Structure 1
Amino acid sequence: MGIIRLENVRLYGFHGCLKEEAKIGSDYRVDLEITADLDRASRSDQLEDTVDYVHLQRIIREEMARRTKLIETVAARILDRIMEELPTVQTSRVCVSKINPPIGGDVQQVTVELSKIRD
């Protein structure tokens, strides 16, 4: 079993419950970790034997582009797509962070972390 991580994926999105958030948007950070059997890939040196991190990044980018009120919803959609589209992934964990959230205080970021295990 092996781990692939995408760390500090920076995106701009329009998530949030406030009308202003839908109009002006804000900065987000996504961190993703998946586990899969990487033994074959480590020996074959072939892309088709591993989990393509370009595919993972595309899922993140596409789901972050779809507006939601809650970052929990975005995180769940990312995990669902990974499990649907990448059958070799056994577990996945995603952290979606809103940078400088509008919560009336000096807060660097708010992060939601969700994980999923293949049944």
Structure 2
Amino acid sequence: MNINASYIHLENILFFAHHGVATQETIVGNEFYINLRLKVGFARAIETDAVEDTVSYADVYTLLKEEMGIPSKLLEHVCGRIAERLFRDFPAIEEVEIKLSKRNPPMGADIDAAGVEMFCTRA
């Protein structure tokens, strides 16, 4: 079998964190969603059925939780930090696609969420 591409994804992960430009956001906090898609060659894991031959999404979640716990002003900064750490901690990751959304941001609008999305490849 030829595998053209393989991905691991985590969808709609909910975090409570203290990111934002406004002082109130850093004090009160807000809910954030992350959607993550990682290009990972896991052909060997298909054969071996061993988590060591892929990227554990449980380990990825732990990384996300740690990074979301570090307050930042900009979601762009948080995304960049997450992507850099994913590449550093998981050599098998070739590409990262991340979407980070803040629920009901304090901007005087009737809006479900606002956020940023980023696609990057290993340097």
Which consecutive segments of 4 or more residues in structure 1 shift more than 6 A?
none
Q: Normalised by the size of structure 2, how large is the TM-score?
A: 0.94
What does residue 19 of structure 1 align with?
Answer: 23
Contact in 2 for aligned 1:8/1:29 (Cα 8 Å) = yes
What does residue 96 of structure 1 align with?
Answer: 100
Residue 118 of structure 1 and its aligned partner are, at CA, apart by 1.3
Structure 1 residue runs without a partner (length 5+): none
Q: CA RMSD in A?
A: 0.7
Paired positions, count: 119
Tell me the distance in 2 between the aligned counterparts of 1:15 and 1:118.
26
Residue 55 of structure 1 and its aligned partner are, at CA, apart by 1.2
Cα deviation per residue 1:24-80 (whole Å; 9 max; x = unaligned)?
000000010001111000110001000110111111111110000001111111100
Structure 2 residue runs without a partner (length 5+): none
Residue 114 of structure 1 and its aligned partner are, at CA, apart by 1.1
Equivalent residue letter for 2:46 = S
Does the alignment pair 1:47 with 2:44?
no
Equivalent residue letter for 1:24 = V
